[in-house]
C-alpha cells in the first residue's frame, strides 16, 4: 500500500534557527473550517512551538487563516491545538525537552493518505556562529553550481 504525501507548509525558520535532533509525526485536532483552510494552503508555522501539559502535547502559535466561506463558524486563527501522539512518544519528548536548550518545534504540515499530519522536531538552538557557518556553506554550494552551469553551457 503506497503512502501519498503532499507537503502543505514548511517551517524554514526552524531549519535556520535550530539543529534538528529527532523528528516525530503527529496528528492535529482540527475543526471543519480549519481543514478547508489547510487544504487551500493557508497555514503558517513560522513562530510556532509545542508544549507538553499534563501528559498531552499542544501546538502554540500555528496560524491557520479563517476560511472565507465558513465565516459564521470562525475559530481563532492562533488558538492552541492538541496534537495526537502515542503516550510513549510524548513521555520521551518530555524527558528530552527537560534537558537544557532543547525545544519541540513544528517543522511541516502535510497530507498523508488524506489525513493532515504535523512533523515536529526535537531541536537544539543554534548559536550565531553556527548560522554563519551554514550560510557560508550554502553560498559556496551556490557558487560551485553556478560555475558548473557556466562551464557546461
Q: What secondary structure, in 3-state letters, does 94-118 show?
A: HHHHCCCCEEEEEEEEEEECCEEEE
Give mean pLDDT, residues 119-141.
Answer: 88
**Based on the structure, what is the number of domains in the chain?**
1
66 located within any domain? yes
121 located within any domain? yes
CB atoms inside a 10 Å sphere around CB 24: 20
Give mean pLDDT, residues 87-106.
Answer: 88
The conformation of residue 127, written as its DSSP 8-state character, comes to P
Higher pLDDT, residue 112 or 73: 112
Q: Which residue has the cell 550560510?
A: 135
pTM: predicted TM-score of the whole model, two decimal places: 0.79
84 located within any domain? yes
How many CA atoms, within 13 angstroms, populate the side-chain half-sphere of residue 70? 14
Q: Which CATH number characterizes residue 47's domain?
A: 2.40.280.10
Give pLDDT tens digits for 34-43.
888 888 889 9
- The pLDDT, as a whole number, for residue 69 is 77
Give mean pLDDT, residues 103-125.
Answer: 91
Q: Are the C-beta atoms of residues 38 and 8 closer than 8 Å to each other?
A: yes
Q: Which residue has the cell 497530507?
A: 111
**What is the residue range of 12's domain?**
5-126
- Percentage of residues in the chain with pLDDT exceeding 70? 95
Amino acid at each position: 500500500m503506497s503512502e501519498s504525501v503532499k507537503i502543505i507548509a514548511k517551517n524554514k525558520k526552524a531549519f535556520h534557527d535550530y539543529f534538528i535532533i529527532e523528528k516525530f509525526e503527529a496528528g492535529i485536532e482540527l475543526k471543519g473550517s480549519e481543514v478547508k483552510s489547510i487544504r487551500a494552503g493557508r497555514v503558517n508555522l513560522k513562530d510556532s512551538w509545542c508544549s507538553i501539559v499534563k501528559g498531552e502535547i499542544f501546538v502554540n502559535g500555528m496560524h491557520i487563516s479563517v476560511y472565507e466561506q465558513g465565516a459564521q463558524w470562525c475559530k481563532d486563527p492562533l488558538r492552541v491545538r492538541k496534537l495526537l501522539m502515542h503516550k510513549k512518544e510524548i513521555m520521551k519528548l518530555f524527558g528530552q525537552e527537560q534537558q537544557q536548550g532543547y525545544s519541540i518545534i513544528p517543522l511541516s504540515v502535510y497530507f498523508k493518505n488524506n489525513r493532515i499530519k504535523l512533523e515536529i522536531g526535537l531541536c537544539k538552538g543554534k548559536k550565531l556562529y553556527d548560522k554563519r557557518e551554514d550560510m557560508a556553506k550554502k553560498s559556496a554550494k551556490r557558487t560551485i553550481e553556478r560555475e558548473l552551469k557556466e562551464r557546461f553551457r
